[in-house]
Amino acid sequence: MESSGRFIQPHAGSFFLFGPRGTGKSTWLRALRDTAVWVDLLDPETFRRFQARPERLLERIAAQPEAVNVVIDEVQKVPALLDVVHSLVEGERPLRFILTGSSARKLRRGAANLLAGRLTELHMHPFMAAELGGGFDLQRSLEIGLVPLVWSAIEPENTLRAYASLYLREEVQAEALVRDVGAFARFLEAISFSHGSLLNLAEVARECQIGRKTVEGYLSILEDLLLSFRIPVFTKRAKRHLVAHDKFFFFDAGVYRSIRPKGPLDKPEEIEGMALEGLVAQHLRAWASYHSEPAELFYWRTKSGSEVDFVLYGPGVFVAIEVKRARQVHSTDLRALKAFSEDYPEATVCLLYMGNEVLKMGGVMCLPCDRFLRGLDPRHIPLANSH
């Protein structure tokens, strides 16, 4: 099975493959198309057949006795198939199941829990810069993001504009996840202002004029649809008083920009600054997911206001990163990283900026953001040679 140029590596046994729509799950599995039992639940006719009779899967597998792989694309659309998969996993025929999904919501119940110990999990993310190689363009990625469906589209701006409405229509509305799709759309716009910021649900609720409990439910839908993620504050061996709120991000910088309302009072550089921070966040998150050993993504912020945008922490990696949209670095930009270094001298600290030169100021490496993203590879520890 080829990795199709992506850093994600398949597991030898059966696994769930999660990822938002358009991130390339089916393309990545394309090498199996002709030899596997393949069930594409995005095809309306296939969906209707398996929804009416999930045990049809037994017949499909019986008809291909030579097949060793079974791929069910967008399995969350027919959760009852998981019961059939569970019976087959327990059976005598050695089969490898690859179940893809762009929503974890329906899979949290029933047979998914039974399969949890038997199927591992993989997560597909938008493109990383290093996967695109010479095709990566930082400015373009800030404008349209790195979702493969959008990046490779003939008219990427139009595709991006349709992306949020696709989720509203096909996932939220079709699955009856919310009663008032208009209220959910207002929530999406309101929470877009929290991208790259501390998450305050009470403020979001006031902004879109709905109850806090409803906002909490909408946020869980957003996370279940894999459209957003949160990163917690880094508290290990904390020596200072730290904030308690998580930071919120949409999973892709382009999706954020397509949802974020723009008005006469909005400064373009402010929106692009949040897009840049989100772009770095999605890269670090992908690195942590694809790396051979588990790593986690945090941020660090004291109650006095010192903040480091990202802390990547795991076996063999402890990196603190500050992101600045500016083309010049000033000594004041390094204060938070220096404070972090005082508390955690073991960490590698780095500032990413929009200039072109590699600098070292006050013991802090300052790297062009473009260079850092192009060099971020899950097979290597970031900034390993910067000491």
- Complete DSSP assignment for 39-92: EETTSHHHHHHHHH-TTHHHHHHHT-TT--EEEEETGGGSTTHHHHHHHHHTSS
Element of type H or E holding 282: helix 268-290
d(CA 297, CA 10): 22
Q: What is the pLDDT of residue 106?
A: 65
Q: What is the pLDDT of residue 327?
A: 92
Q: What is the pLDDT of residue 128?
A: 97
Domain map (residue ranges) of the chain: 15-123, 129-375
Is a pLDDT exceeding 90 seen at residue 37? yes
Q: How confident is the model at residue 175 (pLDDT cuts 50, 70, 90)?
A: low
Q: What is the pLDDT of residue 387?
A: 47
Backbone angles phi, psi at 338, to 5 degrees: -65, -40
Is a pLDDT exceeding 60 seen at residue 122? yes
In this prediction, what percent of the chain has a pLDDT beyond 70? 91
CATH 3.40.50.300 fits 15-123, yes or no: yes
d(CA 164, CA 167): 5
More confident residue, 180 or 249: 249
Is a pLDDT exceeding 50 seen at residue 301? yes
Whole-number average pLDDT of the chain = 89
Q: What is the pLDDT of residue 3?
A: 44
Phi-psi region of 237 (alpha: psi -120 to 50; beta: other; left: phi over 0): left
In this prediction, residues 203-224 reach a mean pLDDT of: 90
19: three-class secondary structure by DSSP:
coil
Question: What tokens does 285 get?
Answer: 């998150």
Q: Between the CA of residue 375 and those of 189, 254, 378, 384, what are the distances in Å?
A: 33, 21, 10, 11
d(CA 367, CA 91): 54
In this prediction, residues 221-244 reach a mean pLDDT of: 89
Is a pLDDT exceeding 90 seen at residue 366? yes
Closest-CA residue to 232 (of 310, 134, 142, 125)? 310
In this prediction, residues 370-383 reach a mean pLDDT of: 92
- pLDDT one-digit tens code per residue, 329-339: 998 999 999 99
Q: How confident is the model at residue 208 (pLDDT cuts 50, 70, 90)?
A: confident
Cβ pair 98, 71 in contact under 8 A: yes
d(CA 123, CA 101): 10
Is a pLDDT exceeding 50 seen at residue 245? yes
Q: What is the pTM of this model?
A: 0.93
Span of 87-91, 168-172, 179-183, 299-303 with lowest mean pLDDT:
168-172
More confident residue, 116 or 346: 346
Q: What is the pLDDT of residue 1?
A: 42
In this prediction, residues 379-386 reach a mean pLDDT of: 78
Q: What is the pLDDT of residue 269?
A: 77
Element of type H or E holding 272: helix 268-290
Long-range CB pairs of 232-235, under 8 A, 24+ apart, other chains included:
232/298, 232/299, 233/298, 233/299, 233/300, 233/301, 234/298, 234/299, 234/300, 234/311, 234/313
